[in-house]
Amino acid sequence: MTRPRASILAVIACAAAGFFAGSARAGEVIQNPHDIDSCGTPNIASEMTDPNNTVSFSLAGPQDCVKLCKQAEKECKSFVKRVSTCRQDYIKDQESYDKSTCDAVFNGSDVRDCKRTASDTEKNSLDNEKAQVKVYQAACEAWENVCANRCNPPG
């Protein structure tokens, strides 16, 4: 007797979200002991000082102020990439826990279906994470633009 696809999806969803703890029995999942939040937020620009409040950069003079804004942008983009790499590693690791849950909870062709769903979930999550890098790096660029404009106010 095979379990319906919805049941397989429910187990994977629970595994990905880490809703249950303990050994894998029917209705439970093998939980990843790590938390994706430990990687940090990929939205680095939102955690930076407001670019309108980078008064200390002005102490360097207008040209060097702009250079400092560019440096901060470069660092921001680098941090976005590092956080995203950590998050992508977590997603890949999560697939392993999800597949272990498939082995522990399902039998026969349901194991294969469950593992396929786990792989699809990982692929979709990785694609989403990679797309977010561009969004968050664009936020770093926007931060730099505001910062640099503050260095050389019009007038």
Instruction: Characterise 108 by phi-psi region: left (phi > 0), alpha (psi -120 to 50), beta (else).
Output: left
Contacts of 141 (CB under 8 A, 6+ apart): 73
Give the pTM: 0.76
Residue written as token pair 């194991």? 111
Q: What pLDDT digit, counting tens, does each position of 101-119 carry?
A: 999 989 889 999 999 999 9
Domain coordinates of the chain in residue numbers?
Answer: 5-151
Report H helices in the chain: 5-17, 44-47, 55-58, 62-105, 109-151
Stronger pLDDT, 70 or 105, i.e. the higher one: 70
Burial of 15 per CB tally in 10 Å (0-12, 13-18, 19+) = buried
Q: What pLDDT digit, counting tens, does each position of 10-40 carry?
A: 545 544 444 333 334 556 788 888 899 999 9
Stronger pLDDT, 130 or 30, i.e. the higher one: 130
Read off the amino acid at residue 88: Q
What is the mean pLDDT of the segment spanning 46-56? 88
Residue written as token pair 């894998």? 24
pLDDT of residue 121 exceeding 90: yes
Stronger pLDDT, 155 or 36, i.e. the higher one: 36
**Structure-token pair, residue 78:** 């680098």
